[in-house]
Amino acid sequence: MKPLALFVTIALCGCAVGPDFRPPAAPATQTYTRETPPAATVAAGGAAGASQIFVTAPHAVPMWWTRFHCDALNRLVDHALQHSPTLAQARARLIQARENYLAQAGATDFPKIDATLGGARQQVDIAAFGIQNVPNPGPFSLYNASVSVSYALDIFGGNRRALEALKAQIDYQSFELEAARLTLAGNVVSAAVRRASLAQQIALAQRLADAQAQQLAITEGRFAAGGVAQLDVRSQRTLLAQTRASLPPLATQLAQADHQLAILLGSVPSKADFGAITLDALQLPDTLALTLPSTLARERPDIRASEALLHQAGANVGVATANLYPQFMISSGIGSERTRIEDVVNGLNIWNVGLALTQPIFHGGALQAKKRSAQAAYDAALAGYQQTVLQALQQVADTLTALGNDARELQTRDEAAQQAQASLAIAQERYSVGGVSRFDQLDTQRQALQTALERTRAQANRLADTAALFQALGGGLITY
């Protein structure tokens, strides 16, 4: 038994071959864009016109959608997080990964014990054993009951590396679930902003078409009286037709936004209830917490998921390496074997103890090829991780640039809208005292509606890009 004890000791003290995983280094850069962004954006008047201040924070903002201070939006996100089939699928995959790990851990960490109970009818030919001149016994029954124990000695760590790979798979599915939550929340907010924007654009475009229709009626009356040329009538009809032509595409986009939001909420499009969310009901967050790129790499779930895949690939290299070395298996068994079934329980009369060693000698280069394949898979996972980090940095850089430009655009759109409203007020006052014609007053109203329509788009872009920044930084459900 001393050799067996020696092998057990070696197994317990054995090292795991292959690379030990270390998380990749965080990005060396301290900024996201080539130029340092200003500490605050420009301000504009009206809804969503506040200046946004960028502050450095140790962590991304959790539950970031609540920063828009819209209860209806919060209810939509909460409903989606509870009923989305996408999240249900991700949760099931996480459970599957955990159970796979538990199954492999049970088979690796503990010996395999099996009980056997059987019986057989046999005929023995004594002459086959070299015994002559002895009559063969007749057929007889043989009954046995035994317990066998076997255990693979993980001397070179192949089983431990396999467990490490399965544990990394659990981490991957966990981060995939968190990424799905983050993406779902971002998609709900984006769809809600888009839906509110389209609804407001349709209302303004309809009012614009009504004003142009009144202008067309006045122009046609003037043409009938010989006051204007036919070209003026044609031009006015063209403007009205162009405005009316913009309504069906807007209605289609609004319906698509409704359908998308319904699916995100886990509902069929025909039965979804979104509540009333207007564009002005969404308050623009005026303080934006910005984490460092090194923090981004540790908090964004898609980056962590890619890191888990890298960990898994490294563990698989260890498995492939361990398969090149000897495999040891110890086994033992004890039992009773009798010719009468009632005698099986009378005592133990058979036992065995064994040690098996398997050393690969020639497999046609298969084992070395599998090791090279595992190494290539690790290199691919490393490149994938690096690409994921770069894409994350790009997303933050893009949204930071967009937020600055969104603020400037909204400032100019708001200024144009204010000027158009001031002109409309003057035109209405002058029209009331007969200073301008009804046509001129309607034309001033048309300009005000057009600038309001353009401001609505700029307002929606600023809200959507603010949500995109929160999402790009990796803020989710975790609180710190």
Identify the band that residue 126 occupies on the pLDDT scale cut at 50, 70 and 90: confident
Res 2 pLDDT > 60? no
Question: Which pLDDT score is estimated for 127?
Answer: 72
DSSP 35-89: SPPPSB----SSTT-SPPEEEE-SSPPTTGGGGG--HHHHHHHHHHHHH-HHHHH
Q: 9: Cβ–Cβ under 8 A, 6 or more apart, which residues?
A: none
Res 6 pLDDT > 60? no
> In this predicted model, which residue has the larger pLDDT, 97 or 127?
97
Q: Closest by alpha carbon to 82, among 171, 181, 190?
A: 181
Res 4 pLDDT > 50? no
**Which tens digit of pLDDT belongs to each residue from 35-52?**
877 789 999 999 999 999
Q: Angle at Cα 147 formed by Cα 144 and Cα 150, nearest 5°?
A: 135
Across the chain, what does the average pLDDT equal? 90
- Rounded-to-integer distance, Cα 292 and Cα 452, Å: 38
Least confident range from 9-18, 184-193, 356-365, 400-409: namely 9-18
What is the distance between the terminal CA atoms of the chain, rounded to a whole angstrom? 55
**pLDDT (average), residues 13-40:** 84
Q: Closest by alpha carbon to 181, among 312, 306, 62?
A: 62
Give the HSE-up count for residue 72: Cα atoms under 13 Å, Cβ half-sphere. 14
Identify the band that residue 88 occupies on the pLDDT scale cut at 50, 70 and 90: very high
**Which tens digit of pLDDT belongs to each residue from 162-172?**
999 999 999 99
Question: Which pLDDT score is estimated for 480?
Answer: 33
**Which tens digit of pLDDT belongs to each residue from 325-349?**
999 999 999 988 888 887 788 888 8
- Rounded-to-integer distance, Cα 154 and Cα 110, Å: 11
**pLDDT (average), residues 183-208:** 95
Q: What distances in angstroms separate CA 49 from CA 43, 403, 408, 414, one per listed residue?
A: 6, 12, 10, 8
**pLDDT (average), residues 168-192:** 96
- Rounded-to-integer distance, Cα 185 and Cα 244, Å: 34
Record the pTM. Answer: 0.88
Least confident range from 15-19, 62-66, 72-76: namely 15-19
Res 13 pLDDT > 70? no
- Rounded-to-integer distance, Cα 327 and Cα 55, Å: 57
Give 182: exposed, middle or buried? Use CB within 10 Å, 0-12, 13-18, 19+.
Answer: buried
Question: Which pLDDT score is estimated for 338?
Answer: 84
Give 46: exposed, middle or buried? Use CB within 10 Å, 0-12, 13-18, 19+.
Answer: middle
Res 476 pLDDT > 80? no
Question: Which pLDDT score is estimated for 136?
Answer: 76
